Amino acid sequence: MLNKYPMWKNVMVICIIAVGFFYAIPNLYSEDYAVQVVGTRGAEVTVATQSAVNDVLTSKNITVKRSELENGQLLVRVMDGDQQLLAKEAIADALGDKYTVALNLAPATPEWLEAMGGSPMKLGLDLRGGVHFLMEVKMGEAVRKMVESKMADFRTDLRGERIRYAGIRESAKGIEIKFRDADNLAKAERFLKSRGNDMVFTDSSSDGNYYLIANLSETYLKQVKEEALQQNITTIRNRVNELGVAEPVVQRQGAERIIVELPGVQDTARAKEILGATASIEFHMVDEKADAAAIASGRISANAKIYDRRQGGQVALYKEVMLSGTHIQGAQPSFDEYSRPQVSINLDSKGGSIFSNVTKDNIGKPMATLFIEYKDNGAKNPDGSIKLERIEEVISVATIQARLGRNFVITGLDHSEAQNLALLLRAGALIAPVVIVEERTIGPSLGAQNIQNGMEAMIWGMAVVLIFMLVYYRAFGLIANLALTANLVMVVGVMSMIPGAVLTLPGIAGMVLTVGMAVDGNVLIYERIREELRNGRSVQQAIHEGYGNAFSTIADANITTFMTALILFAVGTGAVKGFAVTLMIGIATSMFTAIVGTRAIVNAVWGGKRVKKLSI
């Protein structure tokens, strides 16, 4: 029978639309003003912390709607924005600097709806407010570190193979290894080439001077830069988690840049301090042969370098890094028996093994902790980028009394330095320093205004379309309007269901565009039905031919648009991705509602019946 859906297809249509409506329901509930508390400096948020916070707020006459402790984070919901600000100040004063207290907006979705997986759409930075950073990774420093590592490896490997060399240093040509004769140079070249293809070796001997020049291969250089970028992204994500930001965005842009968006964060100084900090530590053995006179005159070993001490004076350290901060697994600020600040360090298994062997072989010898930091000195590079100054200072020198393992402490810091160093080491050290090349702060009031403007545009656009369809296509226009409404609700529902989907201001523009595009399919179908009726077809045949013949045209148009949106999503960033996601979802749902949804209603009303005239 023409124009009749089987029962299973009608049930499928109803179920799909019902699921879309269900997951869209949480967006009807407003958000609660909330304060989020996270332990970031060795402190943990416990039930006792929750109780203390509730007592503080009660004493300040601040009404607590709900207090939730989950995954080590406390979320306290209050009545309005004024109480939110008062609550943040009261909690910060009561808990001290061991906790991060941040403003937040928490979904007010009922618990029964949350239990069934319902949650509202995630809002982007331009709708919720917050801070946006565009950070650039200084790849030159990552390459420099790798070159230093290779130089240390060359010294160890050549000594292990008993190949005599006169010196290893970095020059304009690359890593320069000097030999006393051609025989040792040839042996070294054969051996080092057999170690892998990540280096390119060139014999640069002349006039009785025997030099072997080593440079990173192009393939390996690209790998080093890619690993530096990925490691920095991971480290920044860890630091964002330490800040306790809800729904942050950390993603790469191009080959050397990282985008960081922190919704709800207004304290940009604190965010910049933690995200851009490049503090790390290295452990070096002290050159005991270099006394004060030798250091003052600069007469020290070629394998050593002079560093300033934080407490004053200078000390000569061997260039070889005994252990770097990359092996640090945990770091907590604490105090020694004399109430002096210190940082308790926990190493990973590999770092513990390295440190154990180093300290075993150097008992009774002094070892120094070198603190490394990069700071903006106000100067610019020739290309206009920010020039960073590398600051190195020795924060402690201690004699190795016994073999150490995975756990030890660092002293020589004041309280604030110990707190920050522990946080940075716990989150991980940046492989290469980063500079903030762009910064934008969006206030919550501007975000609310963007939402209001976007909603007004959508409502007016939809109203015009609904009126036009109702007037021009009459009963069939009413069906198209029902499908259009269902389509919009389904877009919201799908956006709410996808974990990584974020609604931005361009995303709202995509939804407005979807409203206009969604009726295109119905217009094509209805005009084809009108044409078939004018050609003398019966009502049932006209409906059947209208939907059947218009399908290919609708599919072609929507598939090409979908592919364009897919390309936008693949190559775009930030707001462009938000627009592309909304557009792709809108295309998929509009095809379903325009073709399948309206056909189900038309079949239910007119299908299989003797109808002489259609209201179209």
β-bridge partners, 358: none
**β 341-347/366-380 pair status:** unpaired
**DSSP per residue over 96-117, as a string?**
GGGEEEEEEEEE---HHHHHTT
pLDDT, position 73: 79
38 or 430: which leads in pLDDT: 38
CA distance 34 to 458: 29
% the chain with pLDDT above 90: 14
- 3-state SS, 307-364, equals EEECCCCEEEEECCCCEEHHHEEEEEEEECCCCCEEEEEEECHHHHHHHHHHHHHCCC
pLDDT digits (tens, 9 = 90+) for 96-108: 766 777 777 777 8
- pLDDT of 424 reads 59
pLDDT at 443 over 80: no
pLDDT confidence band for 598 (50 / 70 / 90):
very high
For the cut 70, the answer to whether the pLDDT of residue 17 exceeds it is yes
Q: Is the pLDDT of residue 40 over 80?
A: no
d(CA 571, CA 582): 16
What is the average pLDDT across 293-300? 85
Among 139-148, 205-214, 408-417, 548-557, which is the least confidently predicted range? Answer: 408-417
Determine the pLDDT at residue 268. Answer: 63
Rounded average pLDDT over 417-442: 70
pLDDT for the residue 393? 85
- What per-residue confidence (pLDDT) applies to 385? 61
Task: Report pLDDT for 423.
Answer: 63
For residues 101 and 49, what is the distance between their CA atoms, to the nearest angstrom?
13
Considering the domain 31-108, what is its CATH architecture? Answer: 2-Layer Sandwich (3.30)
Give residue 425's pLDDT.
63
Q: What is the mean pLDDT of residues 297-316?
A: 86
The highest-level CATH class for domain 277-440 is alpha beta
What's residue 429's pLDDT?
60
Q: Are strands 122-123 and 502-503 parallel, antiparallel or unpaired?
A: parallel
Mean pLDDT over 131-146 rounds to 84
Contacts of 117 (CB under 8 A, 6+ apart): 23
Report in angstroms the alpha-carbon separations of 271 from 135, 150, 243, 423, 434: 13, 35, 8, 13, 14
Domain boundaries, the chain: 7-26+444-606, 31-108, 139-220, 277-440
Model confidence at 380, pLDDT cuts 50, 70, 90, reads low
pLDDT in tens, 318-336: 988 888 776 777 777 778 7
* Predicted pLDDT at 81: 78
Eight-state DSSP code of residue 557:
H
Residues 510-550 have pLDDT tens digits of: 888 888 888 888 898 999 999 989 988 888 889 988 888 88
Section 481-503 average pLDDT: 88
User: Which is more confident, 158 or 104?
Assistant: 158
Is residue 20 scored above 70 in pLDDT? yes
pLDDT higher than 60, residue 409: yes
Cβ proximity of 480 and 165 under 8 Å: no
Cα–Cα distance measured from residue 118 to residue 181, given in angstroms and rounded to the nearest whole number:
75
In the predicted structure, residue 413 carries a pLDDT above the cut 80: no
More confident: 41 or 402: 402
As a whole number, mean pLDDT of residues 49-60 equals: 90
- Kindly tell me if the per-residue pLDDT of 317 is higher than 60: yes
7-26+444-606 with 277-440: one CATH topology?
Answer: no
How confident is residue 278, by pLDDT bands cut at 50, 70 and 90? low
pLDDT at 482: 93
Token representation of residue 135: 């950070």
Between 560 and 323, whose confidence is greater? 560
Q: What is the DSSP letter of 208?
A: T
Ranking 6-20, 50-64, 351-365 by mean pLDDT, the lowest is 351-365
Confidence of residue 355 (pLDDT cuts 50, 70, 90): confident
Q: What topology does CATH give the domain 7-26+444-606?
A: Multidrug efflux transporter AcrB transmembrane fold (1.20.1640)
pLDDT digits (tens, 9 = 90+) for 564-590: 999 988 887 667 888 888 899 999 999
pTM over 0.85: no
Of 406, 403, 506, nearest to 454 (Cα)?
Answer: 506
Average pLDDT score over residue span 350-359: 84
Checking if the pLDDT of 42 tops 60, the result is no
Q: Which residue do the tokens 């995509």 mark?
A: 510
Q: What is the structure's pLDDT at 377?
A: 60
